[in-house]
Structure 1
Amino acid sequence: MTRRRRRRGARPASAPAALEDDDLLRKIFLLLPPQPSTLPRLSVVCKQWRDVVTDPQFLRGFRDQHRKPPLLGLVMGHTGHRYFRSDLDPPDHIPHERFFPRDIRSMNMDIFDCRHGRVVFFAQQLGEVVLFDPATGGRRCVVVPPVFTGKEIGVFNAAVICVSGDEGHVHGDCHTSPFQVVLMGISDDYRQAFASVYSSESGIWGDIISIENREMYDLRQPSTLIGNALYWLFPGDVGEGILEFDLGRQSLANIEMPHGLEYYRHRSLQVILADDGCVGLAILSCYKFEMWERKVSCDDGVAGWVLQKTIQLNTILGLGPMGGLHNLLMGYDEVDHVIYIRTDIGFCMVRLESMQSRNLGKENFSNTAYLPYRSFYTAGTFGKPKHEDQGMDADLVPSRVLKQTRIDVMFKKETETRSKLSKAWAKWFRSNGVPGNKADCPHFRSALKLTQELGTRFIVPTGNEIDGADLDASDEELP
């Protein structure tokens, strides 16, 4: 048998290096955890890796792969100063100052909700709901219906829900998705609840929905989203109750609590998701923790409460001995089914499915409700087209090649720009003899809002165009 001789100069074909194959890189990167520093750290390795992790198709696949956005921390502070407590260790830790820019921190607003990547504020003096996206810095101000700012009805709470109809949409990547805001109010005699829904797609509020009810003093506890309905706990003259808003039917309903409950404070109760997807209720009474479920009877079709579980708190794994009256339910995570409890030994999170707990300590907690914040947040700017210079957070991985302005510097520049804009408007008002409070005119603000939404393709009308439109409107009003 003769052996074939290799031709001089010919070399065996070598397989391409594994880490030079874009398809293989995508498959590997998709398996990495969705933490804020993951993609920025990959992007600084080399240009090829940066092109892979900044490709929009890869980003969509990355979110689809993980489905559930990571918990980044807790938003706190119903009134006064708001605060963000990061749940992550460095390099994924997000400082409070970076999460809430200076202009957001300086505004006197109440925090009402935090869901699907957005934080909902209410600026009472302006009569506006402010929706803020910490991951992008984007915000949207919506003037509430006049009936909610009158003397007979007051704004008590609001909730935000992403309503994206895209197939495979992952909540937590809702930055450009359509959303709805449900605004809740109570009459001045505390016996009637009101609701209205704002649609980001139409830009208008829906009809005012109301329901007669027994006395309810407030709706300040954050809502719980279960299925296609929102639920608020309210204290009243004969104990607590639950107010339900059905998003599909656009209707309000009152749900009475289980009979014979023993608890000490309003914050001893929390609406939760029950095991079978129904409405549940967690009740904290000194050392005892109860979980109830609202079920519909097969016999008569009437819904009622059924006690599912009773647990002694000091037997929950890791908690040990606890105080009594000082134990309070401070928040609930709808996604992970986790409840947050304030105790004498610290602030604890308890997974209701396994009853395993974790003590978060006592530092950097407020005495207001805790709102879990989830998002596919990255420490740098991503989603740009290929070959554009991509940056990263300077606190993560130093790089001599890529440079990006620090996020806090970006917020500072934004604040300075807003200040210059305010001064320019002030000069115009002063030079034309127009009082500054005329800027609060709803017609003026509506025109500004519409101009902003139309984008830069539409030019602000000239004085002649405004006069012409005014004459046309006058002619239309004539009989």
Structure 2
Amino acid sequence: MGCNMSRLAKAPISVVRIILPSIFPRIAENKSRAETEGKGASSMAISAVLDNDDLLYEILLRLAFPTSLVRAALVCKRWLALASAPAFLRRFRDLHPPSLLGFYVETEGTYPPKFVPLPQPPELAAVISRASFDLDSLSRDKFDVEYCNSLLILHTAHKTRVRCSLYPARYTAVLPTFRGTSIHDDSLTYHEHEILAKAGGGAGDGLSYFCLAMGYKEQHTVMDVYVLQDGVWAIHSSVVTQVPKIELQLPRTLLGDTKIYNSASVNDRHKLVVLDLVSSSLSLLDLPEEMLPLSFELSLTDDSHLHLIHVKGSQLHIWLHQMDGNGLSSWFLEGTICLHEICANSMLPNCILKDANVEAVGGNSRFVFMEADDVLYLFDIKNKAAKKVYEITPEAKSLDCVIPIMMVWPPKFPVMMERCDPK
């Protein structure tokens, strides 16, 4: 059974009035005839399409933004089931990757980090206008900012707060204080730790919170991973390695489905650190090339694999990290991008590439932020375009970090009440 017309009227205009005619021109051609024959014939024409799950699937795929998809899911339970199916969402994300909405800039001379919005189509501009990116009023105490899976993690001396700038009323949490000593050994004081978050899990906001803690004892490095359960930090996995001192690049930790990634300095050499949460094993792997820490960034792919993005001269190298079933690690050069070509396409001088640093990467390595001569540039790898997006002023002194803000994924769908249309 399909949705009745009273509920169909609630569908997004982009579904019924724009997408439907563009996909089915025959319906569009017969629009005037249907209007003269009355509303009944028009309703039958629309129902003939929208009552077909295969056709509706293709229509919903052509919505450009997840916000439109959520509104479409409000029509009825059948539309919600189609729009929220994992297989559908994977294909939707492939066709419409989450958009880069803007970025926070943290500098040596300014506080707190400043949000810089990027131009958006009307649909996403409305999302940004309802969001709250201002950090000035969040705390009287100075806080450090981390970014993990569309969430800002704000640390003060007394507490850790998690906040989603797009939906501050819905996604805001205060996490319990993390103890500074090991749960296994009170004599082991952690040298540093980092809070991580990802979608899914038992927390009330639908998120899982982890804490990566690291300490040193008797020429060993200890890495413990805690998970937040019922308001208490409980041990999830623990690794002890005989490497005396591993210096992680914090806060640059990436949390995949079953692995934690970071880069580290080990005996004056840069290594990739892979912590397997299932087997509680630690791997220290060589990078694909010798490189300075400021010349590369790590980024998760859409399927939780790892990219390493490295600038070498005028070329941008995108390496994919692979690990087979036997635990053997390898690097595959997935792409080589000519930055001179992008600069030429965008009418930017090639001299900006001299001594340029990679500051941030995101969107399945679709974009890269690079800084040169106190100017921040955004390189769109897919469209081979670049533009200047920020200039560091004398008051700001120097750039500390760039935090890209992406559209939230996966979308948060409504929960249909029992009194709603069961169809």
TM-score by length of 1: 0.56
How far does the alpha carbon of each residue in 1:207-258 deviate from its partner, in whole angstroms, 9 at most, with x for none? 5544343544442242234552121123455132222221222333322334
Quote the offset at 1:205 in angstroms.
Answer: 2.0
Name the CA shift for 1:279/1:237 in 2 (closer, same or farther; >3 Å).
same
Structure 2: 5+ residue stretches without partners: 1-36, 394-398
1:133 paired with 2:157, answer: no
Is residue 2:256 matched to residue 1:256? no
How many angstroms apart in 2 are the aligned matches of 1:106 and 1:339? 33
CA contact (8 A) 1:224 1:334 kept: no
Q: From the two aligned structures, give the one with the greater strand fraction.
A: 2
Note if 1:155 corresponds to 2:186.
no
- CA–CA distance in structure 2, aligned partners of residues 377 and 182 of structure 1: 22
Distance 1:201 1:16, change over 3 A: farther
Distance 1:23 1:146 in 2: 63
Letter paired with 1:176:
D
Q: How far off is 1:269 after superposition?
A: 1.3
Q: Deviations over 1:136-167 (max 9, x none)?
A: 242232221331799942334332122459xx
**What's 2:384 paired with?**
356
Of residues 310, 333, 341, the one that matches 1:315 is: 341
- Contact 1:331–1:370 at 8 Å: present in 2 too? yes
Q: Which amino acid aligns with 1:257?
A: L
Letter in 2 for 1:121: L
Query: Aligned pair 1:281/2:273, yes or no?
Result: no
In the alignment, which residue of structure 2 is the partner of 1:109? 143
Q: Distance in 1 between matches of 2:204 and 2:198?
A: 12
Structure 1 position 268, deviation (Å): 0.9
Q: 1:274 to 1:60 in 2, by over 3 A?
A: closer
Choose which of 250, 270, 277 in structure 1 pairs with 2:297: 270
Displacement, 1:327? 1.1
Give the alignment partner of residue 291 of structure 1, picking from 318, 326, 330: 318
Report if the CA contact (8 A) 1:19-1:25 is conserved: no
| Distance change (3 Å), C-alpha of 1:29 and 1:218 | closer
Instruction: Tell me how far apart the structure 2 counterparts of residues 258 and 358 of structure 1 sit (CA, whole Å).
Output: 26
Conserved in 2, the CA contact under 8 Å of 1:54 and 1:384?
no
Residues 339, 224 of structure 1: CA spacing in aligned structure 2 closer, same or farther, 3 A cutoff?
farther
Identify which of 374, 377, 393 aligns with 1:347.
377
Q: 1:215 to 1:96 in 2, by over 3 A?
A: farther
Question: Map of 1:315-464 to 2, 5 A cutoff?
Answer: 315-316=341-342, 318=346, 321-333=350-362, 335=364, 337-343=366-372, 346-351=376-381, 354=382, 356-362=384-390, 367-375=400-408
**Counterpart in the other structure of 2:40:** 15
Q: State the 1:72 CA deviation.
A: 4.9
CA contact (8 A) 2:216 2:244 kept: no
Give yes or no for contact 2:354–2:372 (8 Å, CA) kept in 1: no
| Residues 216 and 222, structure 2, Cα contact 8 Å, conserved in 1 | yes
> Paired residue for 1:81?
112
**2:112 corresponds to which letter in structure 1?**
H
Q: Aligned-pair distance for 1:368? A: 0.4
Cα distance change on mapping 1:61 and 1:72 into 2, 3 Å: farther
Query: What does residue 219 of structure 1 align with?
Result: 249
Aligned 8 A contact 1:186 1:218 in 2: no
Q: Distance in 2 between matches of 1:219 and 1:359?
A: 28
Change (3 A) 1:187 1:101: same
1:118 counterpart residue number: 151
> Would you say the 8 A contact 1:77–1:111 is kept in 2?
no
Deviations 1:294-318 (A, max 9, x none): 45699x9753445565554213454
Distance 1:249 1:312, change over 3 A: same
Structure 2 vs 1, CA of residues 16 and 138 (structure 1 numbering), >3 Å: closer, same or farther? Answer: farther
- For 1:23 and 1:147, the matched residues in 2 are separated by 64
**Which residue of the partner structure matches residue 64 of structure 2?**
33
- Aligned pair count reads 349
